[in-house]
Amino acid sequence: MGGNNGTLVGNIVMLVAVFAAFYFFLIRPQKKKDRSIQDMRNNLQVGDEVVTIGGICGKIVKTKADTIVIQVGADRVKFEMMRWAISSVTSTKNAPKQEEEAPKKVVPKRLKKDDVEPVEEEVNAPEEN
């Protein structure tokens, strides 16, 4: 009977270890991702450009508690959609635009005529046989 208790404890420890691995590698990262998506959907504002889960790209023109109205295309067609139908925000109205720094031009310093040393080049003429 003593040997059975050891294998029973070992099996329970392995089972707990498998559940812990599932939690840390699968469940916890998914909950974190769901929380960030929910925060994104709760922070939608008028003027944000969004992409829906169906692939429709548009600009938010009105927000309500559970729905938003997006404007799409050149004809400015408006759709009312549920907030959960938004897949991602491509650009926000209030986001500060990042100014691209122009690459600095490297300009050589001008040399005075007195500072320039004459360069003597040694020309090796080919010898004729």
Separation CA 99–CA 96 (nearest Å): 9
Confidence of residue 6 (pLDDT cuts 50, 70, 90): confident
Nearest-CA neighbor of 81 among 102, 99, 58, 100?
58
Report whether 78 contacts 70 (CB < 8 A).
yes
pLDDT of residue 45: 92
Task: Please give the average per-residue pLDDT across 30-54, as a whole number.
Answer: 92
Please write the tens of the pLDDT for every residue from 76-85. Answer: 999 999 999 9
Compute CA distances 9 → 15, 17, 22, 46, 55, whole Å: 10, 12, 20, 58, 52
**Interacting residues of 110 by C-beta distance below 8 A, sequence separation 6+:** none
Report whether 6 contacts 14 (CB < 8 A).
no
Please write the tens of the pLDDT for every residue from 70-118. Answer: 999 889 999 999 999 999 999 877 655 555 565 666 666 666 565 555 5
Report whether 68 contacts 59 (CB < 8 A).
no
pLDDT of residue 108: 65
